[in-house]
C-alpha cells in the first residue's frame, strides 16, 4: 500500500487565458473526452491501486477549489495548505512529516496535479515497478521515455541496471539545446524528468536532513505547530517562511546515493503550453482540436477553445484560439511559450485578467460578473445547497436579488424571508443581510448592485 501525495500548486501562466493565478490549470477540465479536471484525473488514474487516503498540497487561495473538486470526485483526502510557494522540496517535506506523525512510515507516491497521461495501464505498471524499489529504501524518480529530442524538459541519465526494471541515476541534466537533445535521444540512455517520485517517507526525510537540513528543520517546526480547520491542515506560517525555495531534485535527488529511475512510457505530458495540449488531444481529419461551438473552413493543425460563443475560422494553419468570458488569445503554435509575456504585461498593468476569471469561485458557490457600468453591476450568483454567505452590509450600494431557480432564505435586519423562482427582494444601503440555500438544488439568482461605490472593500462583515 502507498499514500498518494498530489502537488496542486502552481500558476500555469502559459495556458492563459484559461489558466489564471486564482484558478490555474490543475483545476481545469482540459481533456475533451471527459469532464474531469486535471486534479480529478490525477486521482482517477491511480484508482484501483492499493493505496491509502491521499494528501493534497495546495495554497491558501485555492483551498475551497480543491475541497470542492475532491467532493465532486468523491475523494476524502487530507489537504495541507502552504502559506507561500516554496517549490517542491518543502511541499513534499510537509507531506512526509504529516505521513509519519503517528509512527507510520508509508511509501509516498508524489504526483503533480497538472500532468496528462493517456495510457493509464502503463502508468500504473510503472508505479508497481517503482514500489519494488521504494520498499528497498530507494528514492525513485520516474523517467519519461522520450518520443523526440525535446528541449523543453530536463533529462535524467541512467546508470547501471537495478533489478528488476530500474536504473541507478547517473545524473540529472538541465534543459539542453537542440543538438544536445538529439544526442540524448539517439543514445537511448536519457529520460525526460517527470517530476514524479516514489519513496518511503522516512527515507526521504533522512536524505533531506542530510543534504538540505534547513528545509528539514523549517518544515519539521512548521508541522509541529500545525492546526486543523475543517478539511484543511495549516502549518506554522513563520516557521515555513524560513524555508529555502528549492526543488526536490536540487535539495535531495541530485545528491543522494539512493536515487533510482524507473522508465515510464505512458503518453505523459506536463501540458506546459497550448501546443503541448494540442499534442495530447484527439484531433479531427484536418488535425484540428476544437472544443465548443466552432466552424472551421480550410483550417488545419489548430487548437480552438470556444465554450462561450461561436468561433469561426477560415484559412488558418497551426493557430491557437482560446475564448473565455473576458479575454481571447490568438497565437501561432510555434510562439505559445511567449504567452507568459502577456501575463507579465497584465501584471505590470495591474489588470485583473491575469489573476481571476470573470466567474469567481467562493466557499459557498460562485459569482459571475455579467455586466457593469459607472453606477451599477450585475452578477449571476450560485449558492450551493446547504451553503450561505456571511452576514454583511454596505455603506455605498444597494442590492436587488431576483431568484432564477431554487429557494433563497434571506435574513434582512434579523427578519427572515423565503423567496423562490421569479420572486425578488431589495436590500437598501446600510441594512445587514445574509442569503442561504436551504434547498436540495443550486440556488441561482441575479444580483443587481447600484450605488456610488461598488468595489469589494465596501463589504462590512458582521459576526453573529
The answer to whether 118 and 267 have CB atoms below 8 angstroms apart is: yes
Identify the three-state secondary structure at position 170. Answer: strand
Q: What is the predicted pLDDT for the residue at 61? A: 87
Q: What is the predicted pLDDT for the residue at 398? A: 96
In which band, very low, low, confident or very high, does the pLDDT at 332 lie, cut at 50, 70 and 90? very high
Residue 77's contacts (CB-CB under 8 Å, 6 or more residues apart) are: 6, 53, 54, 55, 56, 70
Q: pTM of the entire structure?
A: 0.86
Cα separation, 270 vs 277, in Å, equals 9
Residue 48's contacts (CB-CB under 8 Å, 6 or more residues apart) are: 124
Residue 401's contacts (CB-CB under 8 Å, 6 or more residues apart) are: 381, 408, 410, 419, 424, 425, 427, 435, 445, 446, 447, 448
**In order of start, what are the domains of the chain with their CATH numbers?**
2-269 (3.90.550.10), 275-348 (no CATH), 362-461 (2.60.120.10)
The answer to whether 8 and 58 have CB atoms below 8 angstroms apart is: yes
The answer to whether 197 and 248 have CB atoms below 8 angstroms apart is: yes
Which three three-digit cell numbers place residue 332? Answer: 501561432
pLDDT in tens, 63-100: 888 998 998 899 889 999 999 888 999 999 999 999 99
Identify the three-state secondary structure at position 123. Answer: helix
pLDDT in tens, 414-425: 899 999 999 999
The answer to whether 437 and 385 have CB atoms below 8 angstroms apart is: yes
User: Taking all residues of the chain, what is their mean pLDDT, rounded to a whole number?
Assistant: 93
For the chain, the straight-line distance linking the first and the last C-alpha, in angstroms and rounded, comes to 46
Residue 289 has pLDDT above 70, yes or no: yes
Higher pLDDT among residues 464 and 124, named by residue: 124
In which band, very low, low, confident or very high, does the pLDDT at 457 lie, cut at 50, 70 and 90? confident
Total Cβ atoms within 10 A of residue 253: 25
Which three three-digit cell numbers place residue 434? Answer: 445574509
Please name which of 101, 122, 132 lies closest in space to residue 45, comparing C-alpha atoms: 122
DSSP state string for 315-346? S-BSEEEEE-SS-EEEEEGGGGGGHHHHHHHH
Q: What is the DSSP pairing of strand 376-383 with strand 433-436?
A: unpaired
Residue 377's contacts (CB-CB under 8 Å, 6 or more residues apart) are: 369, 371, 448, 449, 454
* Percent of the chain scoring above 90 in pLDDT: 80
Residue 464 has pLDDT above 70, yes or no: no
Identify the three-state secondary structure at position 117. Answer: strand
Amino acid at each position: 500500500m502507498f499514500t498518494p501525495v498530489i502537488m496542486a500548486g502552481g500558476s500555469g501562466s502559459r495556458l492563459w487565458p484559461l489558466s489564471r493565478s486564482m484558478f490555474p490549470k490543475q483545476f481545469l477540465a482540459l481533456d475533451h473526452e471527459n469532464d474531469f479536471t486535471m486534479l480529478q484525473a490525477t486521482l482517477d488514474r491511480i484508482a484501483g491501486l492499493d493505496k491509502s487516503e491521499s494528501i493534497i498540497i495546495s495554497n491558501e487561495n485555492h483551498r475551497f477549489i480543491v475541497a470542492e473538486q475532491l467532493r465532486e470526485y468523491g475523494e476524502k483526502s487530507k489537504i495541507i495548505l502552504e502559506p507561500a510557494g516554496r517549490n517542491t522540496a518543502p511541499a513534499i517535506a510537509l507531506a512526509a512529516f504529516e505521513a509519519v506523525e503517528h509512527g507510520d512510515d508509508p511509501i509516498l507516491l508524489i504526483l503533480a496535479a497538472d500532468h496528462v497521461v493517456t495510457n493509464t495501464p502503463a502508468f500504473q505498471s510503472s508505479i508497481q515497478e517503482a514500489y519494488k524499489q521504494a520498499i528497498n529504501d530507494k528514492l525513485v524518480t520516474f523517467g519519461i521515455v522520450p518520443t523526440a529530442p525535446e528541449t523543453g524538459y530536463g533529462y535524467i541519465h541512467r546508470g547501471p541496471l537495478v533489478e528488476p526494471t530500474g536504473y541507478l541515476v547517473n545524473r540529472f541534466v538541465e534543459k539542453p539545446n537542440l543538438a544536445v537533445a538529439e544526442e540524448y535521444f539517439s543514445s537511448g540512455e536519457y529520460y525526460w524528468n517527470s517530476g514524479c517520485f516514489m519513496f518511503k517517507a522516512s527515507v526521504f526525510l533522512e536524505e533531506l536532513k542530510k543534504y538540505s537540513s534547513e528545509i528539514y528543520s523549517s518544515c519539521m517546526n512548521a508541522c509541529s505547530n500545525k492546526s486543523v480547520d475543517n478539511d484543511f491542515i495549516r502549518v506554522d506560517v513563520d516557521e515555513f517562511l524560513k524555508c529555502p525555495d528549492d526543488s526536490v531534485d536540487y535539495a535531495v535527488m541530485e545528491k543522494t546515493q539512493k536515487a533510482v529511475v524507473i522508465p515510464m512510457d505512458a503518453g505523459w505530458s506536463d501540458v506546459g503550453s497550448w501546443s503541448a495540449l494540442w499534442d495530447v488531444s484527439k484531433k479531427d481529419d484536418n488535425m484540428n482540436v476544437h472544443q465548443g461551438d466552432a466552424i472551421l473552413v480550410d483550417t488545419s493543425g489548430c487548437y480552438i477553445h470556444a465554450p462561450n460563443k461561436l468561433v469561426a475560422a477560415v484559412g488558418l494553419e497551426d493557430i491557437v484560439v482560446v475564448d473565455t468570458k473576458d479575454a481571447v488569445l490568438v497565437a501561432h503554435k510555434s510562439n505559445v511559450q511567449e504567452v507568459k509575456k502577456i501575463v507579465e504585461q497584465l501584471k505590470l498593468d495591474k489588470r485583473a485578467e491575469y489573476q481571476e476569471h470573470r466567474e469567481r469561485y467562493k466557499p459557498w458557490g460562485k459569482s459571475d460578473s455579467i455586466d457593469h457600468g459607472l453606477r451599477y453591476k450585475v452578477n449571476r450568483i450560485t449558492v450551493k445547497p446547504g451553503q450561505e454567505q456571511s452576514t454583511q452590509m454596505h455603506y455605498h450600494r444597494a442590492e436587488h436579488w431576483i431568484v432564477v431557480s431554487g429557494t433563497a432564505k434571506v435574513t434582512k435586519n434579523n427578519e427572515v424571508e423565503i423567496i423562490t423562482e421569479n420572486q425578488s427582494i431589495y436590500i437598501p444601503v446600510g441594512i445587514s443581510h445574509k442569503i442561504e440555500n436551504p434547498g436540495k438544488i443550486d440556488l441561482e439568482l441575479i444580483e443587481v448592485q447600484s450605488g456610488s461605490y461598488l468595489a469589494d472593500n465596501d463589504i462590512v462583515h458582521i459576526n453573529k
